[in-house]
Amino acid sequence: MPFPRSQLDAYFVFAEEHRELLEQMERLRTRWVESGYLSSGYKPTQEGRVYFGLEEFFNIQSIYLPTKQLFANHQGGYRVFCPVTDELVTSDFVKGVQRWRNTIQKTEFYLVCSQCQERHLLDEVYGKPAFAFGRYALRFINIGQATPSSKLLEDLQVGVGPFKVVLSRVG
């Protein structure tokens, strides 16, 4: 079993999936450099450490994937809950993710809930810690603090769109 690493990454996974998201993410990163929050190497400046609320981080990476991916804390796992009953459904979720990953067209994007007997889309259930499915994300690499500032969250929402925050330690 691998040991957890000290590196913590924050993924801001965007709910919408359209080609303009890449351009929106890049415009936001450019604005952060122009505002003095980031150096030209995408590392936070002293003022940026306050703005981002993540303290130091190594870099920011824009992610675009051809198909959806599960962004999650794969070190230590997570618990998954039914959106109707709030009961634990982690094993149902794992089966649903395995089915989804094994279908060629990625159309089997659901789980059959053992608690409420309904089908739920995989991204309708919720996890602790949080996870998200998506194709577009901003990855803050090796963050020093896990709590983003309200200003950062607002700028991401306005500048790019709805998102989920996923913290990940990958060994």
pLDDT tens digits for 117-152? Answer: 999 999 999 999 999 999 999 999 999 999 999 999
Phi, psi dihedrals of residue 48, rounded to the nearest 5°:
-65, -30
The ranges assigned to domains in the chain are: 1-64+136-171, 79-128
Which CATH architecture group holds 1-64+136-171? 2-Layer Sandwich (3.30)
User: Confidence class of residue 2 from pLDDT cuts 50, 70 and 90?
Assistant: very low
User: Confidence class of residue 105 from pLDDT cuts 50, 70 and 90?
Assistant: confident
Does position 5 have pLDDT exceeding 70, yes or no? no
User: Confidence class of residue 165 from pLDDT cuts 50, 70 and 90?
Assistant: very high
DSSP 137: E
Query: Using one digit for the tens of pLDDT, what is the confidence trace for 31-87?
Result: 999 999 999 888 999 999 999 999 999 999 999 999 899 999 878 788 999 999 999
Q: In what order do the strands lie in the sheet with 163-168?
A: 59-71, 132-141, 9-14, 163-168
